[in-house]
Every structure is written in C-alpha cells, then in structure tokens.
Amino acid sequence: MKSNTINKKEIEKFSKIAEEWWNPNGKFKPLHKFNPIRIKYIKENIVRDFKIRDKVKPFKGLNILDIGCGGGLLSEPMARLGGKVVGIDASKKNIKVAKHHLRKSKLNIKYFNTSPEKFKTIQKFDIILNMEIVEHVEDVNIFIRQSSKFLKKSGIMFIATLNQTLKSYLFAIIGAEYILRWLPIGTHEWDKFVKPDSLINICKKNSLNLKKMDGMKFNPIFDQWNISSDKSINYISKFKKI
C-alpha cells in the first residue's frame, strides 16, 4: 500500500527548471499568465466566505498553507494580501528558489522542503491551496487525505487541476507542449489528470464538501485567462471542511 505522495520523476522534472520560477518569459511563463485569475478567484471567494471588509489586507489574520508552492508564485501574493503563509514543496530546489526570492520581498512566509505526509506541524490553517499539484502527485487519495488534516473545521481548500478529457490531451499536452511550446515537453501526463467527479468523491471521503467549481479558459485574443463554465480542460474548485 502506498504511504506517500511524492512522485520522484515529477520532483526531478520541476527541480531541473527551478531557477526559471520568477522569469516571466521563461519556462513558467504560462503560470505567470495564469496567476492573476487564480489570485482573483481565491481573493473573491475568501472575502465573500469570511465576510471581510478590509480591502487593503483582506487576508489579515488568516493562516494559509500553500502545498506544492514551487518558487512561491502564489505564496507571495497571498502574503501581500495580509495572510500568514506557509509554503511546502517536495523539491529542495524549488524551496531554495522561494527562500531566495523571499529575501528580496521580505514577506511573512515560512517555507519548508516537505510533502503533506511528512509535514510536522500542530497548526491548523484557515485556507489550503492545492493549485496545479494534484496532477503531479503519486497518489491523489493520500494527498487529499493528508492535506485535509491541516485544515480547520469550516476552513476552505482550493484545488485547481486539469480534467481528463480528449480536449485536455489535445490542448494541454499536444497544443501547449508540442505545438506552441508554452511548456517543456513532458510537463504533464494525461493519465494523471483528474476528472471533477473523481476529485469530488475523494474530497467527500475526507470531510471536504464541494462549494464551487468553475472552468478556466485561455483567451488568445486578449492573451489572458478567464473563469469559464467550460471545465473540459482546466478547472478550479472550492471545498469546505465539515
């Protein structure tokens, strides 16, 4: 029986390009374009759910855990919005890059080179971010189970990933990796993509109830991502701990 979520091949893959995390025109360029819509979605939902009125630092007083934080592309904006952020990643190189960038930004973030099943903490979090990570782990069931242990009752977990459809194979792998070269070839494996129903069932087993699920779609005319009703490729979801 599997007891961990670390997929060594996936860790090596991202470790090789870790130095590129903060280069908006480098290998993580698609993620830089993707980031604004992720931040907007998280912010709008947190402000609404927690009935926050502070427009400058809406996340003030909230403890946020960013799992699979990479170089800190999402952790830093969360901290700028006032959150007390902890970022964890199984890649030592990713954490090294995140800490290096943190020295410049001087934000309230603590980074740890670990995975959910090995993360030692008694702290419970208001918000957990599992963004573009579940399609890279060894076992989604274990990953969600371990992640949910860190979430407070009534806390929110955001999960963004790729649907397992023919369309996602054509666009996210053939299109994005082989034709447009937006991502290095081999970034994604289609058989690791997660269908929404499967994700909902896994979360339900771990006391996480679906509150919202939306698609995310790229608009090539405006060169930006938008929230959409189309979940056939990318989708983002909000779950609440019961």
Tell me the pLDDT tens digit for each residue of 111-150: 999 999 999 999 999 999 999 999 999 999 999 999 999 9
Q: What mean pLDDT is reported for the chain?
A: 95
Task: Give the model confidence (pLDDT) of 36-79 as tens digits.
Answer: 999 999 999 999 999 999 999 999 999 999 999 999 999 999 99
Tokens of 27: 């290998």
Radius of gyration of the chain from Cα atoms? 17
> Is 8-162+194-241 assigned to CATH 3.20.20.70?
no
- Please give the Cα distance from 168 to 189 (Å, whole number): 11
Strand order in the sheet with 224-228: 109-113, 84-89, 63-67, 125-131, 151-162, 234-241, 208-219, 224-228
Least Cα distance to 147 among 207, 198, 195, 190 occurs for: 207
13 — alpha (psi -120 to 50), left (phi > 0) or beta? alpha
Report helix, strand or coil for 5: coil
Torsion of CA 233, 65, 98, 141, to 10 degrees: -50
Residue 1 has a pLDDT of: 46
Phi–psi pair at 66, nearest 5 degrees: -105, 105
| Contact (Cβ atoms closer than 8 angstroms) between residue 95 and residue 112 | yes
Cβ atoms < 10 Å from Cβ of 184: 15
**DSSP calls for 15-69:** HHTGGGTT-TTSTTHHHHHHHHHHHHHHHHHHHHHTT---SSSTTTT-EEEEET-
**For the whole model, what pTM was predicted?**
0.95
Q: Is the pLDDT of residue 157 over 50?
A: yes
- Where b means 16+ CB within 10 Å and e means fewer, 30-54 reads ebeebbebbbebbbebbbebbebee
pLDDT > 70 in the chain, percent: 99
Residue 184 has a pLDDT of: 84
Per-residue confidence at 4, pLDDT binned at 50, 70, 90?
Answer: confident
Q: Which of 72-76, 83-87, 192-196, 219-223 has the lowest mean pLDDT?
A: 219-223
Q: How much is the average pLDDT of 71-90?
A: 98
Residue 203 has a pLDDT of: 98
Indicate if the alpha-carbon torsion angle 168, 174, 175, 181 is positive or negative.
positive
Torsion of CA 44, 46, 156, 40, to 10 degrees: 30
Residue 180 has a pLDDT of: 80
- Please give the Cα distance from 145 to 134 (Å, whole number): 12
Least Cα distance to 231 among 167, 169, 143 occurs for: 167
Q: Is the pLDDT of residue 178 over 50?
A: yes
Q: Is the pLDDT of residue 3 over 80?
A: no
